[in-house]
């Protein structure tokens, strides 16, 4: 009896490359990764933002604090997406990034979306019993729709408007870089790692039987 036949006859959960792509699980993992990243950023940055000069200026001009929106800017900044200020008095339009540098939040925030997307890809690959790195990558890529959906929504939810002036994450960079590139790259890495590991474990189990 061949190794492949032994694996099949033993009822192994090994998934072939033709197995279904875990669409629902992948979308859910993408949503969780995005929400988890924003929540972590909120815990790290909200206290300082709440008492910041920028938040007080926005509150004085609009009547409302903008804590959750500014936390959103920082979260997008952690994806290397700048915050764009338009129609500011005197200066016009400028961009800013509040992560890293002397006055920014800890550069460790750059690792947050990377880690959560890798974990999401890994979890999806594990959930589907990925057979190898290739099937793990396919599982990890499915994080894109969920992550992209919330990334697009966040661009509008985190916009602050006061008179003719406005500030929000850069739309194009947010969609392309944060919403598509990040989940594809890091979801795939997490999925590939788990798929490779599970494949090796099953191959070892097969050869010892």
Q: What pLDDT, on a 0 to 100 scale, did the predictor assign at position 98? A: 94
The length of the chain in residues reads 209
176, 76 contact by CB (below 8 A): no
Instruction: Give the residue from 19, 10, 25 showing the smallest Cα distance to 130.
Output: 19
178, 151 contact by CB (below 8 A): yes
Sign of the C-alpha dihedral computed for residues 195, 201, 207 and 209 taken in this order = negative
Q: What are the tens digits of pLDDT across the range 85-141? A: 998 888 788 999 999 987 889 999 999 999 999 999 999 999 999 989 999 999 999
Q: What pLDDT, on a 0 to 100 scale, did the predictor assign at position 83? A: 95
According to DSSP, residue 179 is labeled I
Instruction: Give the residue from 109, 107, 104 showing the smallest Cα distance to 52.
Output: 104
Q: What pLDDT, on a 0 to 100 scale, did the predictor assign at position 20? A: 63
The domain limits of the chain are 22-199
Instruction: Give the residue from 103, 97, 179 showing the smallest Cα distance to 143.
Output: 179
Query: Which pTM does this prediction carry?
Result: 0.86
User: How far apart (Å, rounded) are the C-alpha atoms in residues 205 and 13?
Assistant: 12
User: How far apart (Å, rounded) are the C-alpha atoms in residues 84 and 174?
Assistant: 11
Q: What pLDDT, on a 0 to 100 scale, did the predictor assign at position 88? A: 83
Which stretches of the chain score pLDDT less than 50? 1-19
């Amino acid at each position: 009896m061949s190794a492949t036949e032994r694996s099949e006859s033993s009822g192994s959960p090994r998934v072939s490359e033709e197995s279904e792509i875990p669409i629902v699980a992948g979308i859910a993992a993408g949503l969780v990764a995005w929400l988890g990243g924003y929540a972590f950023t909120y815990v790290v940055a909200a206290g300082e933002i709440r008492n910041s000069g920028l938040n007080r200026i926005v509150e004085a001009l609009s009547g409302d604090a903008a804590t959750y929106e500014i936390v959103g800017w920082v979260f997008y900044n952690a994806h290397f997406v700048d915050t764009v200020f338009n129609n500011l008095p005197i200066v016009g339009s400028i961009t800013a990034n509040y992560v890293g540098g002397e006055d920014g939040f800890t550069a460790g925030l750059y690792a947050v979306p990377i880690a959560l997307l890798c974990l999401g890809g890994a979890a999806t690959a594990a959930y589907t019993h990925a057979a190898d790195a290739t099937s793990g990558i396919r599982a990890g890529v499915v994080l894109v729709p969920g992550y992209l959906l919330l990334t697009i929504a966040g661009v509008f939810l985190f916009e602050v408007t006061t008179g003719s002036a406005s500030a929000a994450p850069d739309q194009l960079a947010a969609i392309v870089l944060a919403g598509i590139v990040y989940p594809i790259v890091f979801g795939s890495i997490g999925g590939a790692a788990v798929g490779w590991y599970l494949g090796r474990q099953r191959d070892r189990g097969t050869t010892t039987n």
